[in-house]
Every structure is written in C-alpha cells, then in structure tokens.
Chain A
Amino acid sequence: MSAVLASQDRPQARWAGSRDALHSEWTKLRTITGPGLALIAAIALTAALGAIAANAAGCQARGCQIDPAKVSLTGIYLGQAIVAIVAVTVVGGEYSTGMIRLTLTAVPRRWQVLAAKAAVVSAATLAAGAVAVLGSLLAGRLLLYGHGFTPAHGYEPLSLGTAAVLRAAAGSVLYLVLIALLALGVTTAVRDSAVGTGLVLGLLYLFPIVSAVVPDRTLARHLEQAAPMTAGLWIQATRGLRSLPLTPWQGLGVLALWALGAMIIGAAVLRLRDA
C-alpha cells in the first residue's frame, strides 16, 4: 500500500524539487537578519561614498578629464565588498553551522542547491544594486552641477536618457550581480567564510595595486585587462572610451568569465567532495 503511494508521489516530487530548492534558499536568506541589513548598508554606503566623491570633484574650466558617471558611482568600490559578504555567508554560513549537511540531504542534487543559491543571491543583489546605483546617480546629478560640471564646461546633467549613462548604470548593477556570483563560487570551493572573503577581496583589490606598481606598462595593461574589478568597472566609463584597453562590455565580460570560472570550480568541489 505504502509502496504504491510512494510511486505515485515520485513524479510530483521531482517536478517540485527545483522550485522547492529555490523556495528554501529564499526562506533562508529572508529569515536571517544579516543579509537584509547588509544589503541595506550596501545601498546606503554606495550612495554615500558616491555623494562624497561627487562633492570632492571639481571642474573649473572646459576640457576637464573627469567622468561624472564614474565619480558618482565610486561607491561601487565599497558596495561590492558588502555584496560579496552576503554571497559569501549564504554558503559559508552553512558550512560553519553544519547546516549544509541538512541542505544536501533535503536536495541531494548538489548543483541544484548551488543554482538556487545563485538565483536567490542574484535577485537580491539585482534589487539592492539597482537602488544603490540610482541613488548614487541622483546624488551625482544633484551635487556635480554645483561643482562646475555645467553645460558651459561641456557636461550635460547625468540622465539615464543618455545611452552611455544608461550603460554605466545598468552595467554597474550587473557588475554587482557578477561579484556576488564570483564570491558564491569561490566560497563554495573553499568552504570557509574568512578564506572566501579574503580571496574574493584580494582578487578584486590586488590586481589594480599590482598593476599600478609594475613599471612595465605592457604588463600593467595586460594585468588590467585580466583584472576582474578594473576591467569590470570599465562599464562605468562614459568618456575617453578610446583610451580603454577593452570596450566597456568586453570589460564586464572579463568579470563574467571570472564569475563563471568560480561557479564551475565551486560546483565541481560541491559535487565531488564530502560536505
């Protein structure tokens, strides 16, 4: 009798697996106060640092080299770190509490767990990132005009109606999502929050420092082209695109490759190693 019931349940259970995995991950993210607060902090700090940078910028005459969109979006340098924390803890937290064993018992197809986590984290980052970027651009629009970024000096007010600014804004949101995926993949591979955070931030912050110190310009340019943060943030450029080693979308593509690589390694480790 019970055997018959079980066989009837099976197809339904399989179909619901993916959706349930997604649902459980969303519940986990939603019911811990940490990630929500962190994402709110990411929004506030991103916009605040952008406003500080816009307030410190100045353009006295025509021919300034300053990119107003890039200045307004300076906060992404800090915001990405907090987005990375959220992504790191989503998987690192499970390993530190042992919850991962329960999760993998409930959803034995391990790639499904990672995919569900990736989807939930991406969606949350997408929402928070959009608010942060819009806030930064609004602060920049309000502040930069008073600091000499006027039509007389060759600057139009920041507006999403401009194709370049729209690319910078949408690209910055995508940038944050890719950073979250990179952090998720790295932490799934190393299984520890501290090591995962260190690796991700090291990967992001060290490339530009090393390429600034290396005196050989060709090597520095190659380093910049390969750097997840430097290349990825070229998406924010609205001026001087010709001087960039890659186009803005190619730059974001470099980061996407890093994120993809990290996710593949993370998935492989999750699949092959005991939890």
Chain B
Amino acid sequence: MSDVTYLPGKEPHEKEHRLIFKNVDREGWDPSIGRYLDEGGYEMLKKGLGMDPKDVIGEVKTSGLRGRGGAGFPTGVKWGFIPPNNTKPVYLICNGDESEPGTFKDRYILHQDPHQLIEGMVISAFAVGAHIAYIYIREEFPEAAITLEKAISEARQNGFLGQNIQGSGFDLEIYVHRGAAAYICGEETGLIESLEGKRPYPRIKPPYFPAAMGLYMCPTIVNNVESLCHVVHILKMGGEEYAKLGTPRNSGTRILCVSGDVKEPGYYEVQVGKVTFRELLFDMCGGPKDGREFKAVIPGGSSSKILRCNESFKIGRGDDAKELEFWDLPLDFDTLAAAGSMAGSGGVIVMDDSRKMSWVLNNITHFYAHESCGQCTPCREGSTWMAKVSDRIAAGVATPEDVDTLEQIAYQIDGKTICAFGEASAWPVEAMIDKYRDELVSETSSDNLYKSTERQAQERFLSGKA
C-alpha cells in the first residue's frame, strides 16, 4: 500500500481506509485491464470460481456486508432468497443508476476502476448461479458506458468473461444497459421494468420480490455498484477478517460523499461507524466555510431525514441508552436509524447558516415532484402539491397554515405507495417541518391569503360577477 501515490490534492485523509477507492484518483492509474492485472487484479475471481458457490455466499454472510445502495439490507441474505427449487435462469443486475442527490461514489468506480466491478460481478454471479448479468448505468454517465463496454471486451479477451471462465466451466456474459435519466430506475423493481423496456413503474412487494420474480419473472439479484465491489475484498480478506473492519453489525468500509457548505467536499472511504460527524466535517472536510457555522446535515442522500447540528439524540435501549450530541454520532446504519434518519446511500449534504430552510425544502420538493413516476396517486399528486406549497413558502407569499398543509400532505404520502419513493419524498419534508417549523412559519404571514384560481372563480360566481 505504501507505494500507492495519489494525484496532488486527492490524497486520502489519515482517517480513511481505502479498499474500494484504492485506485481512484491514483497517480499513473488508468482503467485498462493491464493496469488492473499489475495490481493483482482478477486473482479473487480465480479463487472464487474454485470455491463452492454456497461457500462464497457463506463468506459474504459472515462478512456482514450491508447493501450500499440505500436500504442497508445484508447482501448475503439477499442472495439466499433465490428459491432453492428454481429451474428458471437467474439474472444478476448491477444497479449503476446512482441518482440519489448527494451521492457520487459509483461515478468514480465506473469511470476509473471498471475491472474491480466486473471482478465483483463475476464472483457474485457465480455465487447466485447467474449466467447473464446486466449493468444498468444511468444515462448521465455516457463516458462510463463506453469505459465499461471497453473493459468488458478486455475482460472477455483475457478469459475472465464468456464461456468456461478460467477453465472452471462457468459461463457469464455481462451487458451494459443505459437508462434514460429517471430517478425511479434506482428502485430495484422499477429498474427491472425499465430493463424490460417498459416505463419504470415499480412492482408491488409481495409478490414481486426480485429474488423470486424479477427480470422476465425469473429470480434476479439487484446489487449496488459499491456492494458488488466489496465482494472482491471479502474474498481477499476472508469474511471474518472483513467483519472486523468497522463496528459490529456495520462491518466494512463505506464511501461517504460530502457535498455542500464545507471547505473540502468530496469522497471519503472510512470504516463504517468509526467516524463521527465531528471528525468527518471538521477534521476531514476542513470545517465550515470562513465566517460560517454548520446548521443542518442530510446524512444519507436527499431522501433521508435532515438532522440539526445543535440537536442531541437518545441512542440505544435499556442500559445501553445514552444521550449523544449530533457531533458525536457515528455514521453507521443503526445509529443514524436510531437518530430518526438513515445512512442511506452515504451522501452527506451539509448546510451552513447562510441557507434558508424554505429554499432547501423548495429545491428538494421540486426534485421529487419531477421524479415521481406517477403510478400511485398519493405520490404523484402529493409530490406536486408539496412543490407548489413550498413554492409559496419560499416566495414569502404563504400563510402559517400552509406549513401545516404541507405536513399533512407529507404524512399522507408516507407509507401509502407501492415503492419507497413515497417515503423518500415525504421524509425530508416531514423532518424539515419537524425541526425547522419556527423558521418556516416565520417566513409566512397571515396577511398572505392565498386563493387558488378555482377559489377565485368560485368567489366571482358567488358574488354574481361571473
């Protein structure tokens, strides 16, 4: 490791632990297979193909790897959901539709280290018994699609893909499928619908669990780019050794993507739960911009609930319960869930005291109004209503009741939709009203009586002037 040098200004912080991002922004690195093989690449593929598929799944289960896409579901457990008496073909899909605002980790893997992903995918496909795998990559990465296709053909030429890989008798083909700029394709069943060439309307679960009824109604495993890359390192280190990284139940490393109002935004690969907000934002990201103070942090992509920097949280139950200040919260799945938010996709968005919450809220509601797929009424209508109400608040023409209306709409979307988009659009609004109600209300006035065009028409009619 000591001979690895990075581009100037891109050196990792001493608290980082680089596994996945070892080669990102590295001096003299390029995404070719030759460079990857020089670094001992594809050795784990040979090791993995020599093992029993069940042992590979066992290692991943032992490692405690939790999916890095957002939900944090254990990857090994997910792989075990394929029905044992299955006779249909199994598909593996790599979810490269990185679209959660605030997240930008997969971009670097796809652009700079495609062979790590391919190696992880071959091992994973072998473990779950898939012979066709798709990489669903978002449309906004046109360069990455070309890089990946080149990497795939290089891997095939070197016998790491195709028929009888490395003499093991295992066949696998990987294809790149480009999406078309829809956020909902990040939802796994929506992604499957999109891959089938339809509108990406998510399917209802149950019964459509992808592991049983996924792509073309066959068992399908959908994993995030980062999760699939971790599989390589799990085999390299062994499941037990890997589980020692991080904290219990939150093993391994994960890439935190920091953006917004900090001095040094960027990606930081750390052991899960070993870094607190104080260390991340002050030590690693260089603190707030000059003359500013931190105000709020969105810890896991824009759909996670916002946290106030001057809050404190009660974490744990019974004897383990302790009161933690925001700054002392470690960034792991369980702590952030206990704090009422989620670790999500690792996209940390930081806001300082120059930001008006009404403006932030307005930006986020417009994102969700634009990206709702329109399948379920509460979400389709509600997300647009939220955008319109937040428009009024941001423009300073809202009444205090508008804040309550907004909250009501959010709670009527939450939990009433087919996929998790409903929660994703409602949670940020609920949390922002919960934590910044006073600030939002202070921007409204009861003098601003808002009348919709319908109401204006009604009033004209009633007054006889219609």
Is chain B a partner of chain A in the same complex?
no
